[in-house]
Structure 1
Amino acid sequence: MGALYWSAPTEAELAETGLKAKHFTPPSVDLWPECTLPIEIFSRVSSQWRVGAGGSVGLDYNVVFYELDREGLEGDKRDEVMAGIRVIEAAALAHFAEASR
């Protein structure tokens, strides 16, 4: 999940190291074909989080289902893509929790 939310360290964070932000390149990620659609749909809805007092608690599935409908996904294919989105969602929530510590 880190690749999706990756950012280079700031110049201030690197001030005492002698390094520059330009020395840090974004990670390269190769996707398996079966992961492409779940990542694409997650990217479309990645700003649609349900939020509670402690922060994000999960994606707004109404928006996710709308995107699945737009893709014309039904049956097993819909279930497979939704399962992929749930894996990404769980990793994103774990990343958010780690980042807020």
Structure 2
Amino acid sequence: MRRRASGSAGGLSGCVQPGPTGKLTQAARVLYEPGPSEAELAAFGLTKADIPDVEFEVWPDIWPAFLLFEAMSTQWRVGMGGPIGLDYTAIPAIAQLLGMKKTDTTKAFQDIRVMEAEAMLVMSESK
């Protein structure tokens, strides 16, 4: 599926080639879904200790983006209504700390934006 990008650079129109996002959105959900509350568990006679840890396999092709997104978890911009997005100005410094090459960071950026959107959706659902 091809769609035209809304902007253009120097009179040249861009083209975006989106791929499947399921792996990315699932990874973001695993990181940001709160799980059941103590009260919800208590209704069934359970505690958080009774619930096994969630295991999620991150595919190798999204591993760099996942690492960078997870490391960015303290870089949310927050407004009065909650998170409004990641602070993109922190990406180069965090990527450098992770030892990522500039080209890998550039490739990971679109994946980070997909995970960011899903994380914001998850956080808004848990309000």
Q: Into which bin does the TM-score normalised by the smaller protein fall?
A: 0.7 to 0.9
Greater CA drift, 53-62 or 1-10: 1-10
Do the aligned partners of 1:48 and 1:59 also contact (CA within 8 Å) in 2?
yes
Q: Which has the larger radius of gyration?
A: 2
> CA separation in 2, counterparts of 1:38 and 1:10?
30
The answer on 1:24 being equivalent to 2:70 is: no
> CA separation in 2, counterparts of 1:8 and 1:53?
24
* Residue 45 to residue 67, structure 1, CA distance change in 2 (3 Å): same
Residue among 28, 36, 39 paired with 2:63: 36
- Offset, 1:10: 4.8
Q: Secondary structure at the match of 2:40?
A: helix
Q: Flag the structure with higher strand content.
A: 2
Describe the superposition over 1:6-44 as per-residue Cα deviations: whole angstroms up to 9, x where unpaired: 555454432231223222112211111111111111111
Describe the superposition over 1:41-95 as per-residue Cα deviations: whole angstroms up to 9, x where unpaired: 1111111111222111110000013334552222xx4432111111111111011
After TM superposition, which residue ranges in structure 1, 4 or more long, deviate above 4 angstroms? none
Q: Secondary structure at the match of 2:115?
A: helix
Q: Which amino acid aligns with 1:30?
A: E
> CA separation in 1, counterparts of 2:120 and 2:33?
15
Q: Which amino acid aligns with 1:62?
A: T
Question: What is the TM-score when the length of structure 2 is the normalising length?
Answer: 0.65
Structure 1 residues without counterparts, runs of 5 or longer: none
Q: RMSD in angstroms over aligned alpha carbons?
A: 2.1
* Residue 42 to residue 21, structure 1, CA distance change in 2 (3 Å): same
Structure 2 match to 1:53: 80
Structure 2 residues without counterparts, runs of 5 or longer: 1-27
